Amino acid sequence: MKDTKKKLKTVSLDTMIDKHIGKVGSERRDAFEHELKIELVGNAIRQARKERHLTQEQLGELVGVQKAQISKLENSVTNARFETILKVFSALGAKVNFNVELDDKQMTLS
């Protein structure tokens, strides 16, 4: 009787992303990471809104935008203006930090 079990090879997540999305610095990889970051912002807005027990309409009123705009932000459907995103987090009472990395330096903006 032959052993028909195949051995699974373990690889890192980074290796899989490199293989299927592209190497760091490639155009495809940069686009993927950009979309991922936008999605994370949308998820953070949704989570903070729900923790504050606000509807999309109520948050929109606080920010001065329509409910549809809040929905688009949460679902990463649109590239919102930076100012709008900051207003949303401000209305939610959330602290926002940004990291900017230059070749050999890192700056944190709060």
Residue 12, in any domain of the structure:
no
Q: Is residue 16 part of a domain?
A: no
What pLDDT, in 10s, does the model give residues 22-69? 888 888 888 777 777 788 889 999 999 999 999 999 999 999 999 999
- Give the number of domains in the chain: 1
Going 13 to 18 to 20 to 22, the CA torsion angle's sign is positive
Per-residue pLDDT at 60: 95
Residue 52: domain span: 23-109
The CATH number covering residue 48 comes to: 1.10.260.40
DSSP per-residue string spanning 69-80? HHHHHHTT-S--
93 lies in a domain?
A: yes
pLDDT-derived band at 92, boundaries 50, 70, 90: very high
Within-domain flag for 99: yes
Residue 32 has a pLDDT of 77
70 in any annotated domain: yes
**Which candidate, 53, 20, 52, 100, places its Cα nearest to that of 110?**
100
